[in-house]
Amino acid sequence: MRGILNGTTNFILSEMEAGKSYADALAQAQSLGYAEADPTADVEGIDALAKVLIIANTVMGCALTKDEISCRGIAHLTADDISAAKAAGKRWKLIGHVKKAGGQTTASVQPVLLPLSDPLAQVMGTTNAVTYRTDLLGDVTLIGAGAGGIETAAGLLADILAIGD
């Protein structure tokens, strides 16, 4: 599994690619309600790490702890990094990744330079996406809403209803 698991960071990277500085893109994300007043959990990858942990342990049957997942956010990416990627026909995305092979599980959250031909590279704005590599179907990518008040409320409601089951 690999995916864009944080709509706020995806929005910031999309805005930076459109020419905004990191600070301006973050300020816009905050003004639109996508980022918290303290955006650390988003921009340092902590929110995506939590989602990687949930997917790994719940969906993929792993037994990881947060300390076993390497994590690096997007705050260090500069306008020059974004421009260089664009010139090379690539795009930066904060990617959560889990791989099971040979009885070993590895997981990470980090900015990854993707070729534009990668389906995840085409996911812009606050949208999230996950690609699952399957044994029978190959890669299957799911794309849906990410950051925002309605999206967060819908997720919370689903969690509350699941607790009642």
Q: What is the length of the chain?
A: 165
Q: Beta partners for 160?
A: none
Kindly report the CATH number assigned to the domain that includes residue 75. Answer: 3.30.360.10
CA distance 81 to 77: 6
- Supply φ then ψ for residue 94, to 5 degrees: -80, 115
Task: Tell me the catalytic residues.
Answer: 51
- Categorise residue 9: left if φ over 0, alpha if ψ from -120 to 50, beta otherwise: alpha
Tokens of 159: 């969690």
- Whether the predicted pLDDT of 115 surpasses 70: yes
Tokens of 57: 């342990």
pLDDT tens per residue, range 39-70: 999 999 999 999 999 999 998 888 999 999 99
Is the torsion defined by CA of 59, 34, 42, 139 positive or negative? positive
Domain span holding position 96: 2-164
Tokens of 30: 């905050």
Report helix angle 7-17 to 79-87, nearest 10.
70
pLDDT tens per residue, range 79-102: 999 999 999 999 999 999 999 888
Tokens of 87: 């010139």
- Whether the predicted pLDDT of 156 surpasses 60: no
- Supply φ then ψ for residue 76, to 5 degrees: -85, -15
pLDDT tens per residue, range 5-41: 999 999 999 999 999 999 999 999 999 999 999 999 9
Number of domains observed in the structure of the chain: 1
Q: How confident is the model at residue 78 (pLDDT cuts 50, 70, 90)?
A: very high
Q: Which of 124, 119, 113 is nearest to 89 (CA)?
A: 113
More confident residue, 157 or 133: 133
Work out the mean pLDDT of the chain and round it to a whole number. 91
Q: In the prediction, which pLDDT does 158 show?
A: 59
Q: In the prediction, which pLDDT does 110 show?
A: 98
Tokens of 148: 């925002």
Q: How confident is the model at residue 128 (pLDDT cuts 50, 70, 90)?
A: very high
